[in-house]
Chain A
Amino acid sequence: MQKILITGIAGGQGQLVTRKLLQRDRGYQVIGIDRRPWENRPRGVGMTLTDVRKRKFEDIVRRERPDAIIHLAGVRHFKAHPAVRHEINVNGTARVLDFAIAHGVSQVVVLSSSYVYGALPENPYYMDESFPLNSSRTYPEMRDLAELDMLATAYLWRHPDITITVLRPVSVLGYHMHSTIGRYLKRERVPTVMGFNPMIQFIHEEDLTEAIVLAVERKARGAFNVVGSGAVPLHVAVREVGSQTMALPEPIVRPAIAQLFRWGLYPFPPRAIDFAKYQCTLDGSRFRAATGFAPRFSLAETFASVRG
């Protein structure tokens, strides 16, 4: 019997991973922590209301001695103060890894993102895991995500006795998930940059859930890109989820977004618009080879899952 601790268990991804682990019927015991309660969670799932920054969290790891930790807790929106975001995402991850090492946890899965590679004009299509994490060059608000990723990869080499898995999934869409890209595409008018229409890869939330569980079951060690069924241009994605694009010339869209973001009327910092200009597309072959992962949801099904 394997005991698995999930941080951020009450979030969309946490709930999906919990359900998938229980469905596996391999006697997984699932426990979790979150700041939000999960009222109607499946029977047998133990949950504690706490936070990776709290002392209580270390107590849980020490007492429960989980075999694996799936670390999904983190702040992905930009409403929080950058210092809080950094504290939770970077220092929180460091604490999870430290406790795991101190208390004999054999594997930690850390959820990073494809965005850490950054959207830059010289990006090749299909960057592999050896590609530098360039996001902070143009997108400082996301620096903490790249730091989280690099921190986990550094632990990977420093602590060869523990299996650390860093997953960098492409844009996630699904019914339960409130992903960044989902919130962007679901706007009534999606602001884009006139004359640009980059290819964007998508993965269905169920496929990402399967990837996370496979990473645990196959003990995949290292950093992996996780890629879904393919890529389409941004405008096609906007149309397919039932929204409309609002293409504006770059000299207008940047200051407009900067102002709206400052007033709290637009949820993404102005630099994020680079992802609507240049592609940040990943090569997922390494993860496929390591775990046998294959996405089950087509692009059409992925878009349909968020269509209102």
Chain B
Amino acid sequence: MAARVESLAARRKARHSAATATPPATRAVALRPVPALPPPAPPRRAGALRGLLRDAADELWKQFNPDIVSQINDEVAERLTRLPIQPNEYGYDAWGMNIDAVRRALVVTTLMYRYYFRVETFGMENIPDGPVLLISNHAGQIALDAAMIGTAMVLEREPPRIMRGMGEFFLPTIPFVNLLMSRIGSVVGTPKNCIDLLHNQEAVIAFPEGVRGMNKLFSERYKLQRFGTGFMRLALAAKCPIVPIAVVGSEEQAPAIANVTQLGRLLGLPAFPITLTFPLLGPLGLLPLPAKYRIHIGKPMHFEGDPDDEDAVIGRKVQRIVDTIQGMLDEGVSQRAGIFF
């Protein structure tokens, strides 16, 4: 993929300099050594469909500015060299994370981060070094809020950190999805995985609203759904701080007007949301609206106590987190200029 990005960038550059004079803005990029163009591809025999798809993908690629893509690629690659993690000699960490896969995913999410959701992040300095549990509100069917927080932690934090996600139990059974999930550093959300990651000094994110949050209706936006309590027990067991995070913007990206749970069950999904665009526009309707994201990161909160306390005791601790995040959400919503800008 990296080679592909480079060769596409080179091709684009060649086209660019032949047709027009290089504008000054891109000169700094053009000065970098341009890799030699690959030899012309042999005529395609097998896989006509694959060839067609590849042409379509190339065309789509050219619509972006590949200079920006390769710039982002270089920037992300540089930041990833400063991670405090040690993959093994084959480039994988103990949970199947692959640093090249992380880089490729970050190129895509950084484009979204900067140009689609135009994310602003506040309080990144509140994420400490060492083991930490990040707790955030959750919305919008696809976990783009998680992707944006993870991207922010690489782009905006000094030194960068990888966010480790806790996935739903059905995700490992889906072909390719399970690969994406584990290669970018996420694991199934079992307590053992979470504790192991925290012992390994990682930053783990959890969305205690879970599926309840992802499927909340537009009328319930920025109202935290019931929080699970498992995360608090884990934080107590691992003796790690909890950092509350409020994501403003994600709850407008896919306004759900109804949720046909029965239909979802029929399809083997936890829910079946009806949004303004889905299923009206088919799969295209899953494209989120370009709401402006604002990620507010609160001060780390420390809790002490027995992780095996009864629910009422744990619940009071959880309520402090809920109140903090709800307060941050209310403040963030009231302060912003608008949903899309």
Contacts and interface: CB of A to CB of B under 8 A. Distances in A.
A45 interface: no
A193 B172 CA distance: 13
A196 B173 CA distance: 9
A124 interface: yes
Contact of A124 (B90, B92, B170, B187): B187
Contact of A121 (B169, B191, B196): B169
Chain B: number of interface residues, binned into ranges = 20 to 34
B94 interface: yes
B79 to A, nearest CB: 24
* Dominant secondary structure of chain A at its interface with chain B: loop
A250 B196 contact: no
B188 interface: yes
A279 interface: yes
A299 B188 CA distance: 25
Given A127-B192, A279-B96, A298 B173 contact: no
A127 B178 CA distance: 19
A230 interface: yes
Contacts of B92: 199, 231-233, 236
B179 A125 contact: no
B309 interface: no
B193 A125 contact: yes
Contacts of B96: 125, 198-199, 231, 233, 279
Contact of A250 (B95, B172, B175, B177): B175
B179 A197 contact: yes
Contacts of B173: 121
B176 A195 contact: yes
B169 A298 contact: no
A232 B90 contact: yes
B90 A299 contact: yes
Contacts of B190: 122, 124
Interface string A234-250: 00100010000000011
A278 interface: yes
A126 interface: yes
A127 B172 CA distance: 17
Interface residues of A, number: 29
Interface in B49-92: 88-90, 92
A298 B92 CA distance: 14
Contacts of A127: 192
B175 A125 contact: no
Contact of B175 (A194, A233, A236, A300): A194
B191 to A, nearest CB: 8
Contact of B169 (A122, A232, A249, A250): A122
Contacts of A232: 88, 90, 92
A195 B179 contact: yes
Nearest to B95: A125
A194 B178 CA distance: 11
Interface in A159-198: 193-198
Interface string B154-196: 0000000000000001101111111100100001101111001
B319 to A, nearest CB: 28
Interface in B5-36: none
Given A231-B94, A299-B89, A122 B188 contact: yes
A300 B89 contact: yes
Contacts of A233: 92, 96
B178 A196 contact: yes
With a 10 A CB-CB cut-off, give which of A121, A236, A283, A299 has the most chain B CB atoms.
A121
B188 A126 contact: no
Given A232-B90, A233-B96, 4 more contacts: A195-B177, A199-B92, A298-B89, A299-B89
Q: In the A-B complex, list the 3 residue pairs whose CB atoms are closest, starting with the nearest.
A: A195-B175, A124-B192, A121-B172
28 contacts: A121-B169, A121-B178, A121-B188, A122-B172, A122-B188, A123-B188, A124-B187, A124-B191, A124-B193, A125-B95, A125-B187, A125-B193, A126-B192, A126-B193, A195-B174, A195-B175, A195-B176, A196-B175, A199-B92, A199-B95, A199-B96, A199-B182, A230-B94, A231-B88, A231-B92, A232-B90, A249-B175, A298-B89
